[in-house]
Structure 1
Amino acid sequence: MAAQNDVPIPIPENKAVVVEQEDLDYSKRGQWLRAAVLGANDGLVSVASLMMGVGAVKHDVKAMILTGFAGLVAGACSMAIGEFVSVSSQLDVEVSQMKRTRESEEEDDQEQLPNPMQAAAASAVAFIFGAMVPLLAASFIVDHKVRLGVVVAAVTVALLSFGWIGAFLGKTPVVKSCFRVLVGGWMAMAITFGLTKLMGSSGL
């Protein structure tokens, strides 16, 4: 009987090892995933909001496209630099902490350290992809009101897609993630459109 009781012991131990390895993989994925999701969402929402703001006072499609393109370039540079500085500061803190504590598993810890260049690149590229959605949606629509509606529709679909992708990769609740991203994007566009329309009607 004692020998039979000992047989199942290696099985849960192996399972525990697998679970720990999976958790480790998700933690390594966190840095670039966070940068990519934030970059894509920021590119989508900020450029769409800029274009909606311009569209509130100008019917010229060229003005909307130029504004969106300027927002794309400026935003991608800003996101890349911001991520690089932020993650570099985090890296400095973690390296200093490792030196102070002199951990015995230093090589393993170094593999998990944040990568500033990776975060910057992921953020910038994702921002560009996000910003391309409203730009492409508005590029081929002549009628002003239809153009605004198409931009909102395209951004809505993209927001839901980005929310789902972020939830899937990060293993978080899909509905909550999509709802949060969608409502935030709608609010940004609505506030920008409304305030710009108000300022334009006041003669500023």
Structure 2
Amino acid sequence: MTRLKIHAERHRVSRIGWLRAAVLGANDGLVSTASLVAGVAAANADRSAVLIAGMAGLAAGAMSMAAGEYVSVSSQSDTEQADLARERAELADDREAEIEELAGIYVQRGVEPQLARKVALQLMETDALSAHARDELGISEVSTARPVQAAMTSAATFAAGAALPLLVAGLAPEGMLLAWVVAFTLAGLAALGLLGAKAGGAPLARSAGRVLLWGALAMAVTAAIGRLFGTAVA
């Protein structure tokens, strides 16, 4: 009997479930909190007011991210479960039609019809539902929705990202708070972009550049609004 040699590989796509939520959470925490701090600081508020606003933004943002991710990914999970339930019923009602359907998928991918039917039969003997979930519905262990994981990852990474501008705001010298927050936030965004690109195998410069662009734009807009309203109130 021929023994197959197992070639172990690790692909970055296996990280997609948590990587998307982690990058989104950290980036959102850093940008939104830094922008909030920049806006309040530009309105000539004192350090304590800036820190209170920033901490409120951290707490609200982390909970909002967790709730949003949970609801969004739960909707995906509900759809997946409904499709699986329908597929399970179809397998019970007309197994032969499901064999032909699966074989047809393999034929469309370039497999010879006789071999395609043989493969379909063997896969369905092992786990018919998994075979149809993977090859007909596109649902696999790698891509399946995990609402709790996404929610917890988003909340934790949002808080981690938001902590940087708050820490800088607390340590910055008098009169330099806004400049320090902007400088450290841009550095943090660059590092975050590089980290996300490294983990996902994307081009480093492009990933860092786009987060820097949007982060700088967000801080500029909120600082301008803070300056405008701060001057008007004064």
Q: Name the TM-score, length of structure 1 as normaliser.
A: 0.83
1:26-68 deviations in whole A, cap 9, x for unaligned?
3331121100100000000000000000001124110111110
CA contact (8 A) 2:84 2:129 kept: no
CA contact (8 A) 2:42 2:223 kept: yes
CA contact (8 A) 2:39 2:222 kept: yes
Q: 1:120 is matched with which residue: 138, 146, 151?
A: 151
Aligned residues: 187
- Greater RCO between the two (CA within 8 Å, min separation 6)? 2
Q: Partners in 2 of 1:63 and 1:134 — Cα distance?
A: 14
Would you say 1:48 and 2:72 are equivalent positions? no
5+ long unaligned stretches in structure 2: 89-126
**Matches of residues 108-187 of structure 1 in structure 2 within 5 Å?**
109=139, 111-112=141-142, 113-144=144-175, 146-187=176-217
Alpha-carbon shift at residue 198 of structure 1 (Å): 1.4
Which has more radius of gyration? 2
Q: Which residue of 1 is the match for residue 104 of structure 2?
A: none
Would you say 1:104 and 2:128 are equivalent positions? yes
| Identity across the alignment (%) | 44
Alpha-carbon shift at residue 14 of structure 1 (Å): 6.8
Q: Partners in 2 of 1:30 and 1:183 — Cα distance?
A: 24
Would you say 1:22 and 2:10 are equivalent positions? yes
Q: Partners in 2 of 1:159 and 1:66 — Cα distance?
A: 23
What amino acid maps onto 1:65 in structure 2? L
**Residues 1:34 and 1:147: Cα distance change in structure 2 (over 3 Å):** same
Q: Which residue of 2 is the match for residue 9 of structure 1?
A: none
Q: Partners in 2 of 1:136 and 1:35 — Cα distance?
A: 23
Alpha-carbon shift at residue 111 of structure 1 (Å): 3.0
5+ long unaligned stretches in structure 1: 1-12
Q: Which residue of 1 is the match for residue 59 of structure 2?
A: 73
Name the Cα RMSD after superposition.
2.3
Alpha-carbon shift at residue 148 of structure 1 (Å): 1.1
